[in-house]
Every structure is written in structure tokens, then in C-alpha cells.
Structure 1
């Protein structure tokens, strides 16, 4: 039975396969900065509910400001554009926001630079994304912001995988685990990359750590099942995928888990 599920799973193995990514890490990252001025907060809220209106608002706002306030308008513009899938435009807006942020605000520059990098990734421009993320990484390190440096390292790993540079991607994920050991994504993506390279024992250790941090993340459950089935542990794979269905019924992850279970067939 295990062989029947190996074909679609093994098709995911290889350095050129993108690491799994939830919707680009732009929408939540903008909420992790310092408390936002009221105008930025209002604009970001509108970007969530009415991105087209927020674009118009941000363009008018940007035209009347300079420096740090202009950077806020550009950040909101980029978020609104990303909500509409306008990734190239969002990338340009986030770059402008970063460049208009005071040099002394390294953490804020890192955040906005990472937003630009993620927009470039979403536009399938991995080389441009990596260049932007390298600058963001430098800003985060200069700001002594390890959590942000860890998130940027994860983004760099995704870009490096797209560029078929798996050894560098593995190094970036090692940095992510060091800088942000409580970030489950660092461990999940490390496990995914290790599994795709056939390092199943290492992948198992890393996915166990991811599950300890966030036991209800369905993506972690999916990956745990893939690692288990490739390691010849069919019962463990079933348990992982069944837990995904129970935790997130009706979700895309649950549909994927059910598909894997269907390929395994009935339990003996």
C-alpha cells in the first residue's frame, strides 16, 4: 500500500521544488511593527476590507507627505496592492517605503524590505526577492532583532529553493532555527527540505519539534504524515493525516490529507 502514495509524494522531492508557503508573509507581518499611527492603522484596516479604496487613499496620502510619513503611506499602498494580487506594484511600494524609512529605524526598514522580498517571491522573481531579503537581513541584524532575522531567514530559504540552491537554503533555515527557535515554520520548512533531500531521520526530528511548538498546524500534520510514509511507518502517517482532518475539517489541508489516505487505501 505504501508504494501507491509514494509517487505523488516523491514528485515533491528535489531542490527545485518550492517550499510550502501560506499566503505571502505580508499581511500579518505589517501587524508586527511598533504601534501604528492612527492614520496608518485606518489605512491598513481598509486595505483588508476594501483594497481598491485603500489604494486610492494611500496614493492621495503619499502625495502629501515626505520622509517617515510618506513611508507609512507607501507601506499601506503595498499591502493594499498585495491584497489585489498586484505583486510587482506592491514590491515597488514596499521598496519605496523601506527607502523612505529613516536609516536609524533598522527594524522597520527590515520589515518593509522583507515585505518587498515576499512580493517579489509571489511574482515569481526569486533572484530579485533574494537580493531584497539579503538587505532586510542585514537591517534586522543591525537592529539586533533576532525574531525578525529568523523570519527573514525563512523567506531567504524559500527564495534559495526556487533558485535551486538547496545547500544555501539549508543554511538559511539553520539560521532561522538559531535566531527564532520558537518559530514552528523554521522547523516545518527545515523538515520539508530535509525530507526532499532524503534525510528522513533529520526530517523526523525537525517535524517533531515543529509539532511540539504548534501541534494544531495542519501543514505540520501533513508533512509529518509524508515523512512517516516515506519512512515505512504507514500507521503513523494515517494518524497524522487523520489529525489534520479532525483539526481543520473542510480546509485545503484536510482535502490533501484525505487524498493521501485514499491513496493508501483501507488500513489492514
Structure 2
């Protein structure tokens, strides 16, 4: 299933994409694409609905973030060896974890606002894991049982804030609009192998990132297992799993940074595409 949320910001309706690409309103089936709706029981309830009988929604409506009320937005850094190399950093021996503020989350095609005092705004196409079943100290062999589905994430970053302003990376990752997710959550049963998905990102039509999840240092199964050793994972939590090479800071001979008026276009095989315009912050 492809589950999404459609409508104005703060008033999104839960929806499902039918076989013809039509948005069908799930409001009579589930309150939101969030929390308990993402559990195995919640997804079974959605599967049991007669999709063809659900009301149609306007196909031109705004698509919101594919998951509502996200509890934790967990990020994995340097999880592609070639991205670590372009960043001038060693490949980690254990996953590098940091958090992204949930207030950064926006829809897949919403504008990305470059924050005040930004110097080095950058892009990162990433595979997002959406948790559907509580995970606490799970074995790696059973880790995928806790995954509800997957989505596209643009882990927008401000590198000056991230690496030159001291402290943790979170300050360079958490500006409002720095977390586009969607367009939809694709349930795990539709993704045969999350470690074999092609991915890309373009800025103004120029392709900078062209990679595959097969080159992850730590795969989906290991990440869910590993993170659950340090914190419980709850339905609706999102893990974004790192980016392949081609980010702006890695461009030679000079880095390329986002500026107002750029258009980012990105996608992952089987998970859909996003398109955002960058705009300057305005009070």
C-alpha cells in the first residue's frame, strides 16, 4: 500500500493511493497515518477496506508529510562509505546517530526555507524507515518485523551550523522545513529488498546524487536492531539512513550550496519523488 496525507498544512486527511493513482480518503477508516494506524493491526485494518468504495480526493491537492505526529526523527550519519570519503571523514565502525527536530518535517513538495545566517545549505536524498511495531532490544534477525514501511527523505542540512558552530550536528539539521518526507509511505510488503533501491537528487536539473541503498555501510535490518539497543522505537518513529555521495559540500573543486530559487528534485526507486523550491527566510 501507498499511504499518504493530503490537504492544507495541519488539516491533512489520511489517504491511500489506488491502482489508478487516485487519492482515496481513509478518514472513515483511520484517524491519521500515525501511531497505532502503523502497527500490524492498524495496517491490516486499512488493507481490509474496500478501496474502490472510498471517496476520491482532489488529485491536485497538497501532499503533506506521509506520517503524522512523528515521535522521533532519528538520523544515521556517514552511512555510505563514498559519502564519508567526500566528507573527509572515516567510515564509522558503529552507526553514527543524531536527531533531527520533528518541527523540521514538511511535505514532499513544500518549499524549503533557508534559515537566517545560513552560509552552506546542502541536500541529502535518503531512505526513511517508518517504525510500525515497538522495538526494544530486538535481534537483527527479527528487526524487519518492526518496520511498517519506507519513504523518501530529504535530509536538508546547513553545513556551517553542523560542523563549524561547535557541538552536535542537530543544529545544522533541524531548521524548519529541513525534513521533507514522502510523498507516501510504501508498506514494507511492497519493498522486496530495501538494500537494492536506486536513488537520485538533482538541483535545477543537474544530477548531483545517483546512488543505491546497496552501498550502505549498515543496512536497514542492522540499524533497527542497533538503535533499539539505546532507545525504544515506537510506531511512527522515522529513521533516516544516510546519503550516497554527491552532496554539495563534496563537490570539487568548489562546494555547491543551495540558494533561494533552486529546485531540488529527488526520488527513490519504488517510493516516489519529491520536488522543493528553496526560498530565503522572511519574518
Do they superpose with TM above 0.5? Answer: no
Q: TM-score, normalised by structure 2?
A: 0.25
Indicate the structure (1 or 2) with the bigger Cα radius of gyration: 1
Q: Which has the higher helix share?
A: 1
Q: TM-score, normalised by structure 1?
A: 0.26
Q: Which has the higher strand share?
A: 2
Q: Whose RCO is larger (CA < 8 A, sep 6+)?
A: 2
